[in-house]
Structure 1
Amino acid sequence: MAAAGAGPMLLPDSPLSGDVCALVISTCIALSLLRIFEETAKRGIFDQKLNRKLVHITIGLVFMLCWPLFSSGNQGAIIAALVPGINIVKVLLIGLGIVKDEATVKSMSRFGDHRELLTGPLYYASTITLCGTFYWRTSPIGIAAVCNLCAGDGFADIIGRRFGKKKLPYNTDKSFAGSLAMATSGFIASVGYMYYYSMFGFIEKSFGIVIGFLMVSIASALVESHPISTQFDDNLTVPLTSVLIGTLIFL
């Protein structure tokens, strides 16, 4: 891995001010994306399930693109984590019925019930917050967890619904096409972010890490296809699997 102090930031002479500026920029980008998908859900531009998965894929991955704006070390990681942390509060307030926001409910839920936000969307935001805080941009573990959750799980559903005629023998709710799409997209996204962060000196790209990403993505796809992921929500089981297998491989 690269040195912890490597990489760019907005204001090198004033790390705290630079991190605050990065926080504002990242928050604006995240909220703008959410607003766009709230509008597409409200206007019925996409099928509700597709709209929800597009939110699932893009929010976390786009936020990871903003990580180089922050300073290295604990300060940058904690301040960056405030972005998804704010969304945790929003999801809790809406999911508990304290705040009414039908557009958000439509864009993030399967069946339009605000209480759904207390499971999948809450696990999703928590995963990105914790990965940013504890693994940051120098760890393959955090990269794998977020990429398999966002790209992997997202494309598994989209591809599975469209091309998943052949079902898995141990779970008829899942398909070979969806599982293959999950492993492939999670792996490709992980490798892509390895190269992206290596450009800034945050992580050293290597063939060993690529193989590790492949193993993590395959394991995550297998767990996502298992009936246990339906019972406990794959937004919880997928990142837990990625972190567990990633820890065994990369540490």
Structure 2
Amino acid sequence: MVTMLILILLPVAFLLPPRAGAGEIIGGKEAKPHSRPYMAHLAIQHRGDSYICGGLLVSENFVLTAAHCNGDKITVTLGVHNIREREESQQKISVRHRIPHRQYNETTLYNDIMLLELAEKATLNRWVDTIALPRTNERVEAGAMCSVAGWGCTRRGSKSISAKLREVDVVVMPDDTCLKNPNVQYHIYNSSIMMCVGDPKTSKDSWEGDSGGPLVCGETAQGIVSWGPPTPPGVYVKVSIFIPWIQATMRRLQP
């Protein structure tokens, strides 16, 4: 969220992009190891600094994440549960091409989506697998219960990220929850390309370090952690709007 998910989540601060920026799951629990084989851990180097983001494997050689998770060098680790251990399931792959959306705006975080072409194909197995994307313009109704996961911060105000993958269930809110929210940060909310997620009455949310990770509804990645204030709701990229761009970009780069 504008301060959200990478390591730090500050919409434009970018050392740790805002929830887009950095952080960890708030109010959640440790995920069952390898129950989310599509999760990608991104280690990002940018101007001498380091931070993390999440991502999702959408094909053997492409990971989808947030554009604010860009950097000078990105290393993707798949099949990981504990980022501080060398698990036999892990596949560490460098990124050949970083392709942020051509209309990404780092001030408003509009079109906060990016494809990463891996330098080599991932080996799909019981620890590493792809996740389905929605149909073009598919809608998720308010009230739908979805989930988000990441290695970001687990407490607001803390810069300590989680070693193990954590997850939390979050509810999709009506757009007006963000559009008419008195918090001034939401003035950039755009319902055509963003989703408002997380009940303000709860403390369940993604946070710094979780940026770029998927919002999963059913078995489909409907959103990407983008930005938000320290409390819910958070703002997610509406993936269904970008399906034509995703498909065209992947076709263009396929060998």
Query: What's the TM-score once normalised by structure 1's chain length?
Result: 0.27
More helix by share: 1
Question: RCO higher in 1 or 2 (8 Å CA, sep ≥ 6)?
Answer: 2
